[in-house]
């Protein structure tokens, strides 16, 4: 039985699938893991766990499906991240994660000035410098950890690290590179040599490929470790949100893809690169697919925090949240529990829960959490529209679709219809699809057709309007206080 292996390294777990060439999932497996938060604003992960989990999951799947003939491998992972390695490929420090790690906040203005100002950066990179950009994180390590930097030869992200360990090839996909702001030119689809020399001096930059291109083939050493056949092709891979977008066929202008995961990620394909203040302009997984994207710093991370806090079970909490009704019985939350990425780009923002009384329940709190993330999506949508990027519909995927309550709230708050595809397992499925493209002619519309369409309820949309206005006001009125609190944490 010919199958492809798709793998995704997420913030809280690694997932792997075996998928037939027609898109049928025949086996899946996962491993949970945690990030490290050594101090406020720093979020890291030891890179050894990526390969360890890849090997363990691959061997588990092959043991469960002994008749599987794996013909290609596709990978994706969290990003943009920065892992530095020495000339032997050994990690020099834990990987620095994406925008939830805010260590570069205090240097953004200075680096922007070094490069000629925000207008110059936006013109070449499509986005201003934020804590999301991996290029500034490279500069942070170079300037703050000189002993590490002196030994650094290469940098990878989770997906490209696995590719290198499988094939020996040092590559990075164009999309991931476009999130190494300010080192990549989104118009030229190439590194910016003079800015690489300034911010990442002496570092060898990876060869650039598109996500679905073949990066190389499984080596004998990697085959012995994993049980995979020697010589099968491996994709270049990409960041998880874009792989998940591939899995649902999101590359249509006017449609926003929503990734319901540890964070909420948003991708809107555009006809040409568009600079949107407060959001990120990137290239896609294939040539000629620019996009504008955004992301919250938390989403599922807050719901999981709450579940652990109250020792709850998901089905029960969903039922309780559903019963709480619109407005969560007078509760309103700002979901900025790890700062916020787009559109406010405020690493010192913090979570706020307003309106609490002794009568409020666990279900009210959970409902307020879901509504807060929906308000965050609407905030991003309004910024897009102000910049001339129109969004007419949504398409969702990810673990947060369980029970359909969350996407229903998002559609009601935004007033936009939302399509849920047949397969919603996420980025590992998109990685498998890209792998299948190396060995067959495949179409995601055949792999993963729509299954459910959620239409917004006009009465609910109207009922959410006061809550959204209060959500926007709550941030402005509490910002000074939470910034002072953040300074003391």
What is the pairing mode between strands 393-397 and 255-260?
parallel
Q: Which CATH number fits the domain that encloses residue 185?
A: 3.30.420.40
pLDDT at 246: 93
pLDDT at 252: 83
pLDDT at 207: 98
Q: Note whether residue 115 is domain-resident.
A: yes
pLDDT at 103: 96
What is the enclosing helix (H) or strand (E) of 294?
strand 291-295
pLDDT at 82: 98
Report the domain count for the chain: 1
Q: For residue 316, count other CB atoms closer than 10 A to its CB.
A: 13
pLDDT at 109: 96
Longest Cα–Cα distance in the chain: 63
Q: Note whether residue 312 is domain-resident.
A: no
Q: Note whether residue 22 is domain-resident.
A: yes
pTM: 0.88
pLDDT at 95: 98
Q: Note whether residue 47 is domain-resident.
A: yes
pLDDT at 49: 97
What is the pairing mode between strands 352-354 and 332-334?
antiparallel
Domain assignment of residue 206, given as a range = 2-242
Q: Note whether residue 432 is domain-resident.
A: no
Distances 25 to 287, 341, 424 between C-alpha atoms, Å: 28, 34, 11
pLDDT at 146: 98
pLDDT at 355: 98
pLDDT at 357: 98
pLDDT at 179: 95
pLDDT at 272: 86
Tens digits of residue pLDDT in 150-178 = 999 999 999 999 999 999 999 999 999 99
Residue with tokens 């020399």: 197
Q: Note whether residue 42 is domain-resident.
A: yes
Q: Note whether residue 103 is domain-resident.
A: yes
Low-confidence ranges of the chain (pLDDT < 50): none
Q: Note whether residue 469 is domain-resident.
A: no
């Amino acid at each position: 039985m010919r199958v492809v292996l798709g793998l995704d390294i997420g913030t809280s777990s690694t997932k792997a699938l075996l998928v037939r060439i027609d898109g049928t999932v025949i086996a899946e497996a996962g491993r949970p893991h945690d990030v490290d938060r050594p101090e406020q604003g720093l979020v890291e992960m030891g890179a050894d766990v990526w390969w360890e989990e890849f090997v363990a999951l691959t061997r588990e799947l092959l043991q469960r499906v002994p008749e599987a003939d794996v013909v290609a491998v596709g990978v994706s992972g969290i990003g943009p991240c920065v892992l530095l390695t020495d000339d032997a490929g050994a990690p020099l420090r834990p990987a620095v994660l994406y925008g939830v790690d805010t260590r570069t906040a205090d240097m953004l203005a200075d680096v922007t000035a070094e490069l000629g100002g925000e207008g110059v950066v936006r013109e070449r990179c499509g986005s201003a410098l934020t804590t999301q950009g991996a290029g500034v994180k490279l500069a942070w390590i170079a300037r703050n950890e000189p002993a590490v930097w002196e030994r650094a030869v290469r940098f990878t992200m989770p997906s490209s690290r696995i590719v290198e360990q499988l094939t020996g090839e040092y590559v990075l996909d164009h999309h991931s590179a476009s999130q190494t702001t300010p080192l990549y030119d989104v118009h030229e689809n190439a590194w910016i040599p003079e800015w690489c020399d300034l911010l990442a001096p002496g570092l060898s930059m990876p060869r650039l490929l598109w996500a679905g291109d073949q990066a190389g083939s499984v080596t004998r050493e990697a085959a012995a470790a994993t049980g995979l056949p020697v010589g099968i092709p491996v994709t270049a891979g990409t960041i998880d949100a874009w792989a998940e977008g591939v899995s649902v066929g999101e590359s249509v202008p006017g449609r926003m893809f929503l990734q319901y995961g540890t964070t909420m990620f948003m991708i809107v394909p555009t006809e040409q690169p568009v600079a949107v203040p407060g959001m990120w302009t990137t290239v896609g997984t294939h040539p000629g697919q620019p996009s504008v994207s955004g992301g919250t710093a938390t989403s599922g991370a807050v719901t999981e925090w709450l579940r652990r806090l109250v020792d709850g079970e998901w089905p029960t909490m969903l039922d309780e949240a559903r019963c709480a009704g619109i407005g969560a019985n007078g509760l309103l939350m700002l979901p900025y529990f790890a700062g916020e990425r787009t559109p406010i780009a405020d690493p010192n923002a913090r979570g706020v829960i307003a309106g609490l009384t002794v009568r409020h329940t666990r279900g009210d709190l959970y409902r307020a959490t879901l509504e807060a993330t929906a308000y965050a999506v609407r905030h991003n949508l309004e910024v897009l529209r102000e910049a001339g990027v129109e969004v007419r519909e949504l398409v969702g995927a990810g673990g947060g679709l369980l029970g359909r309550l969350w996407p229903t709230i998002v559609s009601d708050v935004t007033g936009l219809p939302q399509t849920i595809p047949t397969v919603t397992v996420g980025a590992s499925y998109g990685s498998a699809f890209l792998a299948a493209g190396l060995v067959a002619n495949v179409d995601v519309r055949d792999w993963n057709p729509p299954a459910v369409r959620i239409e917004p309820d006009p009465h609910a949309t109207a009922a959410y309007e006061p809550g959204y206005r209060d959500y926007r006001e709550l941030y402005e009125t509490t910002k000074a206080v939470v910034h002072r609190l953040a300074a003391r944490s």
